[in-house]
Structure 1
């Protein structure tokens, strides 16, 4: 059984003519990094919120580590596009807040050590006692990432965490995230609109058709070696085959990609060839 299983998930709002998405099926293995890409309105954030237990789906089931996801929990860490820091607390106190919630029996020293360790991992070891107002946008996002990692969740959920950052800062934090994920074997589900970012970070990419009645139309396997760097990617012809496939889907095929019924989406390996293979998604 996969670590995370999503079966026949659907979301409809009262008064709407059609569900935002329906028959969404996929799974994530422990330690896997999965990105989801699709046009605005297809329900990506709603799916992430359902995984976080922050929103209830209209139909379908979500199970993580053998248990139904029925509400929020500290076994899932969430990082939003907005850093969501408490402005009256210092950097380390923002992280300590989550650590104390996760381990209420810990001593003050243990909480301090845990928070400081993860802030050092994201390169903020010298900014522990600064207030969020004293930080750049990229530094605030690093605090949010450290706070999510510090509670040692079973799964990390990222909702376009770098979307508001400039390109240089975005690239730096992507590299930090990649390094930490590889070091900790963290399971990650991430929303992004950035094709290059998805290829750099993920093992698989879920492609959603346009809403309403959106579905996962394809699952793209990133067949590049896992110890990848930004420099190496841009010198690898396989990167461009994967990139071209993703862009072609978003530009030309997403509006028509409506697989029938509850059929699992096909798995595609464009880094190798364009053939379709039976899905292991559900």
Structure 2
């Protein structure tokens, strides 16, 4: 990539002190550029530091070493330039749908009039297909509708970066699938830059432009999504590259995430340049199914 990235994660590490001395390393030497408008998913087994990385990006945690640069400035704490959508909806129960969104927008744009804030919020209510529910409180909404409000609230402050912490994991399968496609549509339409953590391989395949594979330590590799950009959850399994991609990700989670340290032992490894692969169907010219880019 020749274009300067919007977000640059540089030599990031997080360690915690052990009882009795020493340190436990959650992850270290993480390098990752994220371009403007890109949707990046991070997957890895429990305990590899996914949520900790997201908290550092949000400014809710401090790294032990390294830094995160957003639009040319190192982050040092929370900012309205970075919006977070959590697993729970985190809505204020005494406020309406419009009130929850307006509260965030007014914090971001205190100079705006009430009418301007309301019109701006309505645009995002419409964007997540909640028109007609503006005056309902969270107790009157389904789980999927609450998450739509959370998405609208995050997007309405027009952040440089949207951080998503498994926001669909608590929903039923039907609602989850619908919201995944809504999130992808909205982010493509708005050009939103997104960093998302997930355990769900199919979710990452549907949403992400690139998928970062994590171990305890450095990232193992970066997977470029070979599926077409207009993919849909209901039909992407028919694409020739679907199973090569899915099998590659599944093998990593089940096997390679635990053996990666021994895999690179004795071999040159530059954490600044992790392997970039594009799993795809074997073509007539015999290109390997997980061709290095």
Could you say which TM-score interval applies, normalised by the shorter chain? over 0.9
> Could you tell me whether the CA contact under 8 Å between 2:17 and 2:24 is conserved in 1?
no
1:136 equivalenced with 2:142 (yes/no): yes
User: Per-residue deviation at 1:242?
Assistant: 0.4
More deviation, 251-260/121-130? 251-260
1:33 equivalenced with 2:42 (yes/no): no
- Say which of 91, 95, 109 aligns to 1:89: 95
1:102 equivalenced with 2:108 (yes/no): yes
Aligned partner of residue 86 in structure 1, secondary structure: coil
User: Per-residue deviation at 1:256?
Assistant: 1.3
User: Per-residue deviation at 1:264?
Assistant: 2.4
CA distance in 1, matches of 2:131, 2:45: 37
Partner of 2:275: 266
> Could you tell me whether the CA contact under 8 Å between 1:32 and 1:186 is conserved in 2?
yes
Distance 1:236 1:97, change over 3 A: same
Q: Which runs of 4+ in 1 moved over 2 A?
A: 14-18, 258-264
User: Per-residue deviation at 1:66?
Assistant: 0.9
1:224 equivalenced with 2:224 (yes/no): no
> Could you tell me whether the CA contact under 8 Å between 1:23 and 1:261 is conserved in 2?
no
Partner of 1:234: 237
Aligned partner of residue 56 in structure 1, secondary structure: coil
Partner of 1:125: 131
Q: How does 1:1-282 map to 2 (within 5 A)?
A: 1-15=4-18, 17-209=23-215, 211=216, 214-258=217-261, 259=264, 260=269, 262-271=271-280, 273-277=289-293
CA distance in 2, matches of 1:85, 1:271: 41
> Could you tell me whether the CA contact under 8 Å between 1:80 and 1:159 is conserved in 2?
yes
CA distance in 2, matches of 1:55, 1:17: 17
TM-score (normalised: structure 2): 0.91
RMSD of the TM alignment (CA)?
1.3
> Could you tell me whether the CA contact under 8 Å between 1:9 and 1:24 is conserved in 2?
yes
CA distance in 1, matches of 2:119, 2:260: 49
User: Per-residue deviation at 1:61?
Assistant: 1.2
User: Per-residue deviation at 1:120?
Assistant: 1.1
Larger radius of gyration: 2
CA distance in 2, matches of 1:275, 1:225: 17
Superimposed CA distance per residue, residues 54-94 of structure 1 (whole angstroms, 9 cap, x where no aligned partner): 11000001101111111111111110001110111111100
User: Per-residue deviation at 1:262?
Assistant: 3.5
> Could you tell me whether the CA contact under 8 Å between 2:40 and 2:212 is conserved in 1?
yes
CA distance in 1, matches of 2:204, 2:88: 19
Aligned partner of residue 260 in structure 2, secondary structure: coil
CA distance in 1, matches of 2:238, 2:71: 38
